[in-house]
Amino acid sequence: MSRNLNIIILACIIIITGCIQRINDEKATAITTTAITKAEILIGLQFNDTKRDSMQEGLEHNLNAYENIRALNLSNSVAPALQFNPLPIGFSPVVSASKPVTLNRLQVEVPGRFEDLAFYSVRELAELIRTRKITSTELTQMYLERLKKFGPQLECVVTLTEELALDQARKMDIEIATGHYRGPLHGIPYGAKDLLAVDGYPTTWGAEPYREQIFDQDATVIKKLDDAGAVLIAKLTLGALAWGDVWFGGKTRNPWNLEQGSSGSSAGPAAATAAGLVAFSIGSETWGSIVSPSTRCGVTGLRPTYGRVSRTGAMALSWSMDKLGPICRNTTDCALVFEALYGPDGIDQTIIDLPFTYNPDIDISKLRIGYLAQDFNEDYSTRGNDQNTLQRLRDLGAELIPITLPDYPIEELAIILSAEAAAAFDELTRSGQDDQLVRQIKNAWPNEFRVSRFIPAVEYIQANRVRRILIQEMESLMKTVDVYVAPSLVGDNLLLTNLTGHPCVVVPNGFTDEGSPTSISFIGRLFDENLILAMANKYQSATDWHLRHPPQFK
C-alpha cells in the first residue's frame, strides 16, 4: 500500500511539474500587461491597467495571425492589394495620340579613333548605325572592351551579358542590312541596374543573400528595349537593396573622383554612363536614386511620373514609390529611351496609359516657370552654380516665378517608404540573413528594416492620409506654373515629389571646387515628361556641362 502511494505521489509530482513548466512557457511567450506598458513607449501612447488587460487577448490573437501570414513566405514580386493613386481629385490629363519622337537628321561622321564614340549621344550613334557607317557589333564590342577595362576600376559592373549582347548586335546588323530599322535605339548598347530581371543571368539586387538569384523571365523594360532594338551589354551595380553605392562586390566610384562613391542607388548606371562604358542605362528611383547619382556623376536622368513605366520584373522596395527611368548623356537621349519604356504591359496595375510626344521646340518666354525661392536662398555648397542656372534661364527669356511647396512634415512621411521596404524584405529580417549585407551601420537597411517593424499600421495609414493632402496641394500649385526649377538635393522637394509621383529631369550645371559635377532639377506636372524634357533641353542647349567627360576615361 505504501509503495502504491509513493507511485501515486511521484506521478502527481511529475504532472504538477509539467503543468508548472507549461505555465512558465506560456508566461514566456504571452503578451503581459507589463509588456504592453513597455511597448507603449515605442508608439508614444499611454493606457491604464484596465485597458491593458482588455487588450491582451486581442494582441495575442494578432500575434498568432502574424505567424500564420509569415508562414506563406511571400516573394518580393507580390505587391499589396492596396495601390497608390497619384491622381488628384478632378485631374484631367491632356489626352492626344502619341507621336513618335521626330528630330532633324544629324550629320555625323565616324571619328578617327573609333573608341571616341564611347561618349557620343544615343542620337548620334543612332544616325551612324542607321546610315550603316558603323555596325552594332562594332559598337557593342567597343563598349564591352571598355567595360572590361574600366569596370573593375569603377566597381560598377555586376555581370557582363557579353554572349547575349553579341547575339543581339548581330541580329540588329542583319535586320538593318535587309532594310528593317526599328528606330533610334536599334543596335544601341546599354546597361541595366541589377534589380531588373534578365532571363538566364543573375539578378543580385546588389546584396549577398541574392547573389546567385536567377529569374526565368525578363523585366518588362528589358523586353521593351529589346523590341526597340537596344543591346543589353551589362547588369550594373546598385547599393545593396537600393541604398547607396556599396554592394556585395565593393563601392561604386565617381568617374570624376575615384576617392568618392558615385552615390546611389543607381550607382552603376550613372557611373558607367558618365565614363562612356554604355551609351545609356536604366536606373530606378524611390527617394533620389536617379537624381543623386546623376548629380554626382554629371549625367542627365529622367525620373518619370509614378505609374508611367512598368516595374514588372524589378525588385520592389516601396510599391507606392518605386519608379524606373533612363540615365543618359542629355535630355534628348532621355526622351528617346523613355519613348521605348512608357506604357502598360498588362501586368503592373499601377500603370496609367497616357500618351507621350516629345517636342523640344518650345518658347520658354511663354511658359510659367516657377522656382523654389526659399531653397535657392539657403546656404549650401552648390548655391553659386544654381544661382548661375537661374540667371541663364532668365537670359534665355524665362520669367521666373517664386513658389513655395506645401508646408507639411515631409521628412516624417519617410515612414511610408520604410514600412513598405520592411515588408518587401520581411523574410530577410526574420531569417537573420540580413547579417550578410555589407553595410551593418545604424543608417543602413538591416537596422532600418528592424526599426520599421515597430511602425504601427495606424501611423502608416495616417502618413498616407497626409500624402493625399500633399497630392491635392501640389495639384493646386502646378496650376500656377507649367514647370518649376529646384536645387536637386536641398530642402523637401526631392522626397515630396517622390511621394506625390511628379516627374523630374536632372541635368548637370557645373562643378564643385573639388571637381565633382553638380546639377539642377526641373519638376513638371503629372505625366508631362514632354515639357520638362523640352525645358531642360533648352537649358542644356545653352550650356556645355553635359558635354564634359571625366578625363581619365576618355
Give the model confidence (pLDDT) of 413-470 as tens digits.
999 999 999 999 999 999 999 999 999 999 999 999 999 999 999 999 999 999 999 9
Confidence (pTM)? 0.92
Please report, for the chain, the start and end positions of each structural domain, with discontinuous segments joined by +.
Answer: 1-30, 32-74, 114-409+455-553
Domain 114-409+455-553 has CATH 3.90.1300.10: yes
Tell the residue number behind the cell numbers 501611423, with chain if given: 459
Say how far apart CA 271 and CA 255 lie, in whole Å: 6
Q: Taking the chain, what is the end-to-end CA distance rounded to the nearest angstrom?
A: 101
Number of H helices, E strands in the chain: 18, 15
Say how far apart CA 342 and CA 107 lie, in whole Å: 29
Phi, psi of 157, rounded to the nearest 5 degrees: -115, 130
Contact 235, 159 (CB under 8 A): yes
Say how far apart CA 539 and CA 544 lie, in whole Å: 10
| Other beta carbons within 10 Å of 394 | 12
What is the full per-residue pLDDT of the chain (554 aa) written as tens digits?
455 545 444 444 444 445 444 444 444 458 999 999 999 999 999 999 999 999 999 999 999 989 998 999 899 999 999 999 999 999 887 766 677 777 888 999 999 999 999 999 999 999 999 999 999 999 999 999 999 999 999 999 999 999 999 999 999 999 999 999 999 999 999 999 999 999 999 999 999 999 999 999 999 999 999 999 999 999 999 999 999 999 999 999 999 999 999 999 999 999 999 999 999 999 999 999 999 999 999 999 999 999 999 999 999 999 999 999 999 999 999 999 999 999 999 999 999 999 999 999 999 999 999 999 999 999 999 999 999 999 999 999 999 999 999 999 999 999 999 999 999 999 999 999 999 999 999 999 999 999 999 999 999 999 999 999 999 999 999 999 999 999 999 999 999 999 999 999 999 999 999 999 999 999 999 999 999 999 999 999 999 999 999 999 99
Three-point CA angle 200, 205, 207, nearest 5°: 115
User: What would the 3-class secondary structure string for 211-271 be?
Assistant: CCCECCCCCHHHHHHHHCCCEEEEEECCCCCCCCCEECCEECEECCEEEEECCCCCHHHHH
Q: 384-390 long-range CB contacts below 8 Å, 24 or more apart? A: 384/510, 385/509, 385/510, 385/511, 385/518, 385/520, 386/487, 386/509, 386/518, 386/520, 388/509, 388/510, 389/485, 389/509, 389/510, 389/520, 389/539, 390/485
| 182 Cβ neighbours under 8 A, 6+ residues apart | 172, 175, 227, 228, 229
Residue type, 345: D
Strand order in the sheet with 189-193: 157-160, 231-236, 189-193, 280-285, 323-328, 300-303, 504-511, 517-524, 483-487, 369-372, 400-403
Q: How far is CA 85 from the centre of its chain?
A: 18
Contact 185, 341 (CB under 8 A): no
Give the model confidence (pLDDT) of 183-240 as tens digits.
999 999 999 999 999 999 999 999 999 999 999 999 999 999 999 999 999 999 999 9
User: What would the 3-class secondary structure string for 116-127 be?
Assistant: HHHHCCHHHHHH
Contact 362, 316 (CB under 8 A): no
Phi, psi of 363, rounded to the nearest 5 degrees: -105, 105
The answer, yes or no, to whether the previous bond of 265 is cis (omega within 30 of 0) is yes
Say how far apart CA 140 and CA 231 lie, in whole Å: 8
Give the model confidence (pLDDT) of 497-530 as tens digits.
999 999 999 999 999 999 999 999 999 999 999 9
